[in-house]
Amino acid sequence: MIALADCNTFFASVERALHPGLKGKPVCVMSSNDGIIVALTSEAKALGLKRGDPVFKVKDILGKNGVAVFSGNLMLYAAMSKRVQSIMRRTVEHTECYSIDEQFLYLDGYEKHYDLVELMRGMIRQIALWTDIPVSVGIAKTKTLAKVASKFAKNYKGYKGVCMIDTDAKRRKALSLFELADVWGIGPGSLAKLISLGVTTPLQLADKRGEWVLKHFHKPIYQTWMELNGHPCIDTSELIARQTITTSRSFGNMISSEEELKASVASFASSCCSTLRGQDSAAGRISVFACSNRFREDLSQYGNIASQRLPVPSADTLEITAAALELAHKIYRPGIQFKKSGVILSDIVPGCCHNVLFDPVEKRDERVELSRTIDRMNHKYGLRTVGLAVAAGRNEQWKNRKEHLTPNYLTDIDQIMTVKI
């Protein structure tokens, strides 16, 4: 059996855990520049707020109802995630981190010594005691069914945090009640096609013959069909390794100089490269885009994207940043007030180093190792402690505006929480 442990409204729950006076009150977490709501509690949803709402459009609702708003702090959330995951590993030996708020737990063999449901409830109680983060757990034979079960555990209090699908009757009932759009692996395109073919519930998809699924769909939907029928076939380690890596951001203040645009692009390229090396892969293509503020109709509007194929798949920050700067120069337009830029790495392949006979970059292995050393230093001493000078810029007006940021209580000794007695 496999369990999926999912932290409920994780970003908002972290803020609540560090601000105890907010229990039972509406809380929203905003994206970069405090522009969009990215996470919210059930109390906030009851006010009509939803994920993706622009903050300026719901400002009146936030103010009239005393909604607590916070700037997103990924460093803080990642630190809390590590604490939660460490408690899970104390309970179950073999675990797999799927995202910042989700972890798969492999329970094979545990059923001989434990009641699986009670084992998971004990873990949930310990996480709540040590971190104050609420967790829901779904248990089933496959990862897709475990995600289905975790949704039921989250939405229905009667499960007391844990839902287990361990019989065929439970599987069929769960799939008949579950939304097809919420099934892991079914995207908007596949959903539209399934509906056009008369499939409107996960159970109807599971009841189709395998030949029918292969006739109308590609391998991913066939894998989903297999998993819905209780046959494990999805390797999440392959899914976790991203096929594209993007870092983009709206600026705290609009910028017009090429220097500041390049500074933002260099910073985003470094971030992409760090993620690339973290999954031990290399990128064969880089794209850079920039655009003006589409909400400012009084200003000239402009947006563009440029791409370049690298001679050899690379994870070298110096090489990728140099290419990104060339592309930034290509799309820059004088007189434009830029509001956003970003870097996209694609054509990703396994392995950080790909040596070829006529490689234009000398000592590629050593350069990648230099980049990895910088990653380790930034991990130990703080994000962007060491970086490229070009990424700093002169005025740094492009940096995020975070007016409601919770300090990094869990990772920075200089920002440690002070309790007044």
Model confidence pLDDT, tens digit, residues 363-413:
777 888 888 888 888 877 766 777 788 776 555 666 666 778 888 888 777
359: confidence class by pLDDT, cuts 50, 70, 90: low
Whether 42 and 152 map to the same domain: the answer is yes
- Same structural domain, 236 and 221: yes
Mean of pLDDT values over 344-368: 75
Q: What is the pTM of this model?
A: 0.75
Consecutive H or E run containing 143 = helix 143-155
pLDDT mean over 283-292: 93
Question: Higher pLDDT residue, 10 or 360?
Answer: 10
CA Rg value for the chain: 24
Same domain, 378 and 256: yes
Residue that terminates a domain, selected from 182, 208, 240: 240
184-205 per-residue burial string, b: 16 or more CB within 10 A, e: under 16: bbbeeebbeebeeeebebbbeb
The H or E element that residue 195 is part of is helix 188-196
Structure token digits, residue 287: 């794209």
On whether both 64 and 209 belong to a single domain, the answer is no
Q: For the chain, how many structural domains are there in total? A: 3
Chain centroid to CA 388 = 25
Q: Residue 293 — pLDDT band, cuts 50, 70, 90?
A: confident
Instruction: Determine the average pLDDT of the residues in 283-307.
Output: 90
What pLDDT is recorded for position 370?
84
Q: Say how far residue 260 (Cα) sits from the centre of its chain.
A: 27
Is the sign of the CA dihedral 188, 190, 194, 197 positive or negative?
positive
CATH code of the domain covering residue 182: 1.10.150
> Do 351 and 266 fall within a single domain?
yes
**CA–CA separation, 177 and 156 (whole Å):** 13
CATH classification at residue 343: 3.30.1490.100
What is the pLDDT of the chain when averaged over all its residues? Answer: 88
Task: Give the pLDDT mean for 317-329.
Answer: 92
Residue 418 lies in a domain: no
**Termini Cα distance of the chain:** 47
How many other CB atoms are there within 10 angstroms of residue 1's CB atom?
A: 19
Single-letter residue type at 33:
N
- Give the DSSP letter string of 12-58: HHHHHHH-GGGTTS-EEEE-GGG-BEEEE-HHHHTTT--TT-BGGGS
Asked if the model's pLDDT at residue 278 lies above 90, the reply is: no
DSSP assignment of 393-414 equals -SS-TTS---TTBPP-TTT-GG
Say which residue, 123 or 296, is predicted with more confidence. 123
Transcribe 314-370 into DSSP letters. E--HHHHHHHHHHHHHHH--TT--EEEEEEEEEEEEE-S----TT-SSTTHHHHHHH
- The confidence score (pLDDT) of residue 396 equals 62
**Structural domain contains residue 401:** no
For residues 60 and 174, state if they share a domain.
no
The per-residue pLDDT for range 182-222, each reduced to its tens digit, is: 998 898 899 999 999 999 999 999 999 999 999 999 888 99
The tens digit of pLDDT for each residue in 134-144 reads: 999 999 999 99
Tokens 């555990």 -> residue: 153
In a domain? residue 197 = yes
198 found inside a domain: yes
Q: Token pair of 260, please? A: 């500041």
Residues 294 and 354 in one domain: yes
Q: Which domain, by its residues, includes 380?
A: 242-391
**Domain co-membership, 15 together with 136:** yes
Write down the pLDDT at residue 244. Answer: 85
pLDDT at 334: 93
CATH of the domain at 158: 3.30.70.270
Where is the domain boundary, 222, 240, 258? 240
pLDDT value of residue 352: 65
Domain assignment present for residue 405? The answer is no
In a domain, 143, yes or no: yes
So what's the pLDDT on residue 393?
A: 57
Structure tokens at 109: 């063999």
Say whether 98 sits in a helix, a strand or coil: strand
Q: Is residue 397 part of a domain?
A: no
Same-domain check for residues 268 and 295: yes
Residues 145, 14, single domain; the answer is yes
Measured CA to CA, the distance from residue 31 to residue 13 in angstroms comes to 16
pLDDT at 362 over 70: yes
What's the whole-number mean pLDDT along residues 268-273?
90
Same domain? For 248 and 195 the reply is no
Of 240, 271, 297, the residue that ends a domain is 240
Most confident of 28-37, 133-142, 248-257: 133-142
pLDDT in tens, 69-107: 999 888 889 889 999 999 999 999 999 888 889 999 999
Task: Quote the pLDDT of residue 127.
Answer: 96
What ranges make up the beta strands (E) of 147-273? 162-164, 245-255
Do residue 190 and residue 256 come from a single domain?
no
Q: Is residue 412 part of a domain?
A: no
Q: What type of residue is 401? A: R
Which of 377, 405, 331 is CA-nearest to residue 76?
Answer: 405
